[in-house]
A and B are shown apart, each in its own frame.
Chain A
């Protein structure tokens, strides 16, 4: 695992990727600091961090697009498969390198906040909390990005899909609010989401049977629940979407709440995405 970790980290900083990622985030951190703290004189560094979440739409794909897609394209994944190291360790090694790279701009942002304390009364606790939240958000999104990278052997496709998925996650709560409040609308919307997931299963396993089974079982269970507890479906989709929204959780940190459930939530997302990545890699052995 250490070997993979060192190699990945070196790849980030021998090439451009690590620097581009860090510079990209820091340029925007600088701009926002300028606007909020210097020009407008706010003492809240967390506003800066809050706005940074948008920058991740571009930064995360830069960071994760090549992780696994490039291995497949260059056929170096053959080496990984033949190493006497488990796939979980390989994926974890790669992910840790991603996390290290993602931590770098967060550390520099801490310096921004510390530097600002000399000019005014900055709420250090809130600033630190929001930066930790930002790191956790990056960690969760990067894991999703890695999973998407494992589905394709084309970096550009991986980057595009990652960006699209993040936009979807960002606007999920807003979009869900457009679904009518009626119980049936929620039922239909959740069914559509299950069918989309079935399509992802199809891409992952290349097995129509698995995808159809997943979709049928999912919709079946949903229908049973709908028949039994029709009342609780009222406005359910919007509530679920709101509850699952990654970015809404992050804004809790920005608002100065260090929410442990949010921490657990981010870690679970990362864990689930990494698990799926390992499964996709393992699956390829069986294709």
Chain B
């Protein structure tokens, strides 16, 4: 539906987006995730034709956004970071204006505007001036604007920024709702938000795409090693001896546990549940009862921090050659864990 190819945007001597490529398939909710200043807004502005790319192309439904802008733009609805609302209009007037400008037929306008207001629940505010609306409602009007003209894809730039927690939940529900009829692409720097609504996550850091997959796959892929937390009844030496025969256990460490008469054991293992099963059988055979077992996966948050901070390291490396050695070592360790 949307093809982004080798997109690069340079502002003066600052590269905001560098060689970014991805494609958006219809019918999913995509999350563009990245820390502030990663190039999310720039990418979205280019995808919607508001900004020209220095290099690379964007194709929407097969139409190049710069070669055939009107046909490409008709397929997308865009909510910029700051909703582009005219304060001196009411939501109804504003939406009618946008619908007309998007080329909705005269007969279709009323129907279309009513539908957009209904979906975004602004019908009750239709006759108030936009300047008197709360931020949450303004955001809704902004989203309603993006929905006019039946776009196949809806692109939302930080749709929940600056809203209170209840409004955030409402907007998220709204986005999930939209995902049923449209392809939705939203950007955010908040991981939990993307995790909550998106079926596919693209992580951007320093203008580069560093990961793109479903949340589950990201967690799995970037979990170099899993951690097993156990509470086992028995002697430390026996436990250590038994574990040394189990395949897939990298290291063993002991600690206190709140389970009575048991030793706390932390295992660094191969990812996957296979090792946990092996540990269970080995312990059962050695008659060392496991009283508690937790499989800890690396959270998406860890993935996010790891991916975006790697880029930071790289940036630091080039700036500070003295530290480069240490950093490389650290990276090697981290990389080693992943193999």
> Which residue from A6, A14, A86, A285 sits with its C-beta under 8 Å from B50?
A285
Residues of A within 8 A of B48 (CB): 81-82
Residues of A within 8 A of B101 (CB): 3-4, 83, 85
* Contact B86 A82, beta carbon cutoff 8 Å: no
* Contact B88 A15, beta carbon cutoff 8 Å: yes
Question: Of B24-32, B72-80, B115-123, which stretch is located at the interface?
Answer: B72-80
Contact with A along B23-54 (1 / 0, CB 8 A): 00000000000000000000001001111100
* Contact B71 A84, beta carbon cutoff 8 Å: yes
Within the assembled complex, what's the spacing in Å between the Cα atoms of A7 and B90? 12
User: Taking CB as reference atom, which chain B residue is nearest A70?
Assistant: B86
* Contact B49 A82, beta carbon cutoff 8 Å: yes
Q: CB of A208 within 8 A of chain B?
A: no
A256-287 CB contacts (< 8 Å) to partner B: 285-287
* Contact B103 A7, beta carbon cutoff 8 Å: no
* Contact A2 B73, beta carbon cutoff 8 Å: no
Chain A at the B interface: SS class: helix
Residues of B within 8 A of A14 (CB): 88-89
Q: CB of B69 within 8 A of chain A?
A: yes
Contact with A along B102-115 (1 / 0, CB 8 A): 11000000000000
User: Taking CB as reference atom, which chain B residue is nearest A285?
Assistant: B52
Contact with B along A80-101 (1 / 0, CB 8 A): 0111111000000000000000
Q: CB of A77 within 8 A of chain B?
A: yes
Q: How far is the CB of A20 from chain B (nearest CB, A)?
A: 15
Q: CB of B290 within 8 A of chain A?
A: no
Residues of A within 8 A of B76 (CB): 82
Within the assembled complex, what's the spacing in Å between the Cα atoms of A165 and B150? 45
Residues of B within 8 A of A78 (CB): 45, 50, 78, 80, 82, 84
Q: How far is the CB of A210 from chain B (nearest CB, A)?
A: 15
Residues of B within 8 A of A6 (CB): 97, 100
Q: How far is the CB of B193 from chain A (nearest CB, A)?
A: 22
> Which residue from B70, B72, B86 sits with its C-beta under 8 Å from A74?
B86
Residues of A within 8 A of B190 (CB): none
* Contact A83 B52, beta carbon cutoff 8 Å: no
Contact with A along B57-94 (1 / 0, CB 8 A): 00000000000011111101010101011111100010
Interface residues on B, range: 20 to 34
Residues of A within 8 A of B69 (CB): 84, 86
* Contact A85 B70, beta carbon cutoff 8 Å: yes
Q: CB of A55 within 8 A of chain B?
A: no
Residues of A within 8 A of B1 (CB): none
Residues of A within 8 A of B82 (CB): 75, 78
* Contact A84 B97, beta carbon cutoff 8 Å: no
Within the assembled complex, what's the spacing in Å between the Cα atoms of A70 and B77? 23
Decide yes or no: A11 and B88 within 8 Å by CB, A3-B97, A81-B50 being known contacts: yes
Within the assembled complex, what's the spacing in Å between the Cα atoms of A7 and B82? 20
User: Taking CB as reference atom, which chain A residue is nearest B104?
Assistant: A3
User: Taking CB as reference atom, which chain A residue is nearest B54?
Assistant: A286
Q: CB of B308 within 8 A of chain A?
A: no
Within the assembled complex, what's the spacing in Å between the Cα atoms of A167 and B97? 37
Q: CB of B98 within 8 A of chain A?
A: yes
Q: CB of B145 within 8 A of chain A?
A: yes
* Contact B100 A84, beta carbon cutoff 8 Å: no
Residues of B within 8 A of A74 (CB): 84-87
User: Taking CB as reference atom, which chain A residue is nearest B157?
Assistant: A78
Decide yes or no: A76 and B51 within 8 Å by CB, A83-B73, A84-B73 being known contacts: no
Residues of A within 8 A of B52 (CB): 285-286
* Contact A7 B86, beta carbon cutoff 8 Å: yes
* Contact A3 B70, beta carbon cutoff 8 Å: no
Decide yes or no: A82 and B73 within 8 Å by CB, A75-B80, A76-B84 being known contacts: yes
13 new A-B contacts at CB < 8 Å, known A79-B84, A84-B71? A10-B89, A10-B93, A11-B88, A74-B86, A77-B84, A78-B45, A78-B78, A79-B145, A81-B48, A82-B80, A83-B73, A84-B102, A85-B70
- 16 CB contacts below 8 A, A to B, read A2-B100, A3-B100, A14-B89, A74-B84, A74-B85, A74-B87, A76-B86, A78-B50, A78-B80, A78-B84, A81-B49, A82-B50, A82-B78, A84-B70, A86-B70, A287-B11
Spell out B's residues near A (CB within 8 Å): 11, 45, 48-52, 69-74, 76, 78, 80, 82, 84-89, 93, 97-98, 100-103, 145
